[in-house]
Amino acid sequence: MTLLLERAVAELAKLPDDEQDAMATILIEELAAEERWAESFARSQDKLAELAEDARRDLHAGRTTPLEPLDE
C-alpha cells in the first residue's frame, strides 16, 4: 500500500462508522466502474482500428477538412 493510501485510510478511520461505510461504498463503486471501462475499451480495439483505417482512407482520398485552431 502506498503512503498516500495509508494516509487516506488513517483519515477515514477517524470518521464515524456510517461515514466510513459511505466512503467505502463510493470507492468500491469507482473501482468497479474503472474495471468496466477497461474491459469495454479492451473489447473495442477492433472497432477503433477499423475507424482509424476509415479515417486514413478519407484523408488520402481528400474527403477531410483540416481543423483550424481556436483563438484563445
Convert the pLDDT of each residue in 2-53 to its tens digit.
Answer: 999 999 999 999 999 999 999 999 999 999 999 999 999 999 999 999 999 9
| The pLDDT of residue 71 | 78
**DSSP 8-state code for residue 15:** S
pTM to 2 decimal places: 0.61
Ramachandran category for residue 25: left, alpha or beta (phi over 0 → left; psi -120 to 50 → alpha):
alpha
Q: How far apart are CA 64 and CA 68, in angstroms?
A: 13
> In Å, what is the CA distance from 36 to each residue of 24, 27, 49?
18, 14, 20
Q: How far apart are CA 5 and CA 3, in angstroms?
A: 5
For the chain, the structural domain boundaries read 3-60
| Cell reading at 47 | 472497432
Convert the pLDDT of each residue in 40-56 to its tens digit.
Answer: 999 999 999 999 999 99
3-state secondary structure of 11: helix
